[in-house]
Amino acid sequence: MEFKKCERCGCFFVSQDNVCYNCITKDRAEINMLKNYFDINPNIEANSLNALSIQTGISEKNLNRYIQDKNSDISDLVNNHLNM
Ligand SMILES: [Zn+2]
């Protein structure tokens, strides 16, 4: 068994995922929030991650993680609304 450090809260845990069990729930909630935000504002274009962070209330660090998760459909969705 290999210990991993949670990318979100920094705690150590054993799993295949990059974030711990508690943070998976938080990630899912934020991703749903992001999807809703883009549903409500389909034409929004943020010119930086920081701007998007301010608009959505989701930290830049977490937005960055979601973008880098190529297995997730949120990556494309966020990139479609980023105009950097
Ligand atoms: Zn965590």
As a whole number, mean pLDDT of residues 40-46 equals 95
Residue 72 above 90 pLDDT? no
Ligand 1 center to residue 26 CA distance, Å? 9
Q: How far apart are CA 7 and CA 17, in angstroms?
A: 10
Ligand 1 center to residue 60 CA distance, Å? 16
Ligand 1 center to residue 42 CA distance, Å? 31
Q: How confident is the model at residue 16 (pLDDT cuts 50, 70, 90)?
A: confident
pTM: 0.89
| Contact in structure between 14 and 4 (CB atoms under 8 Å) | yes
For all residues of the chain together, what is the average pLDDT?
94
- Predicted local confidence at residue 69, as pLDDT: 86
